[in-house]
Amino acid sequence: MSGSLIVAGYTLREALRRRVLTVVVVLTALFGALYAFACTELFHHVSGFNFNRGIDERTLGGSTILGLSMFGALFLGTVLAVFLTASAVRGDGERGLLAPVVVRPLSRGSYLGGRLLAAASVAAAYVVITYLLAVLCTGVIGHWWPSAIAGSALRLGLAAVVVTALTLLGSVFFTATANGIVVLMLYGFGILAGLLGEIGDVLPSATLQKIANIASWALPFEALYRDALRLLVGGVPGIAGAIVRLGPLGGSHGAGPLLIPWTIGYIVVVVLVACWAFARRDL
């Protein structure tokens, strides 16, 4: 068995034995129940609205609450990725957990690969499953189904992998607490930049749009989130479409066909830099 798979398996076993995954499943079930209740209430009330000019109340309600659930799923997946990876190198090194493992005939790259594999799999799977459950909930309760479900799920999953890779890189330089703070603040900065971009689109302001664009490429999880929102409501026509594209917590925004290849390249480069820095680090 390759070193990466051994490390990944051990990391996942640790998450299971420490009941991290149990807690995640229980709390997500709670989140799901709350979401289902919110859907029921929303569609019950929204069906009584009398919109003019052809705005479909179910589309408006469904896309809005599903957009919120996407934000929630990605945020929770980000927290999960951070907690599973924040201490991978420096944190575990300072606690004395790392040395017994990395003195084995296991390259440091394999160790990082294993940690990435475990955390990214868990975080991406969590985000995708939570999103799909929200889609199912919205469809069953509100009879509204978004377009391009798979495309949105793919982008959300990739966004979770980007966050995991960034956390892994940060773990080479920062202690667990500092790394967690850095990554969560970067995440917040990315979302904020997306909101600024949305404001820039409405005003319009070229400067705000430029800030948002730079942030999108520098922190592609933000671009992936906005692109997933775009796919979610891309098929909604007219004024309803214009409203839902503004969206909750950062509007939808197409980043173009280069987004996925850029993201994959970005993840590869971040992991390579982490491997390079880890290889040079004295423990």
Partner 1 sequence: MTTLALDCVALQKRYGSTHALRGVDITVAPGELVGLLGPNGAGKSTLTKIACGLVRPSAGTARVCGEPAGSPRASAALGYLAELFRFPGWSTADELLALHQRLSGSSGGAGERAELLGLVGLADEAKRRVETMSKGMQQRLGIAQALVGEPRLLLLDEPTSALDPAGRHTVRELLEELRRRGVAVLLNTHLLSEVELVCDRVAIIDHGALVAIGAPGELMRTSGVEVELGSETLVFDDATRDDVPRIVAELVGAGELVYGVRVLRSSLEDAYLSLVDERAT
Site residues for partner 1 per CB under 8 A: 1, 3, 6, 10, 14, 17-18, 95-97, 99-107, 280, 282-283
Q: How far is the CB of 232 from partner 1 (least distance, A)?
A: 40
Note whether 160 and 83 are within 8 A (CB).
Answer: no
Least Å from the CB of residue 256 to partner 1? 43
CB 27 → partner 1: shortest distance, Å? 20
DSSP letter assigned to residue 53 = T
What is the residue whose two structure tokens read 């809005």? 64
The Cα 13–Cα 100 span in angstroms is: 18
**d(C-alpha 191, C-alpha 261), whole Å:** 21
Least Å distance, CB 249 to partner 1, is 37
Q: Which is nearer to partner 1, 63 or 110 (CB)?
A: 110
- What is the DSSP code (8-state) at residue 120? H
Among the listed residues 246, 227, 66, the one whose alpha carbon sits nearest the alpha carbon of residue 145: 66
Min CB(183)–partner 1 separation in Å: 23
CA distance 211 to 198: 11
Identify which of residues 53 and 280 has a Cβ nearer to partner 1 in the complex.
280
C-beta closer to partner 1: residue 112 or 259: 112
| CB 59 within 8 Å of CB 42 | no
Cβ at position 175, least distance to partner 1 in Å: 15
Closest CB to partner 1 among residues 7, 66 = 7
CB of 232 closer than 8 Å to CB of 151:
no
The overall longest dimension of the chain from CA atoms, in Å, is: 69
- Smaller CB distance to partner 1: residue 112 or 183? 112
Say if CB 149 and CB 131 are below 8 A apart. no
Question: 19 vs 45, which CB is nearer to partner 1?
Answer: 19
Rg of the chain in Å (alpha carbons): 20
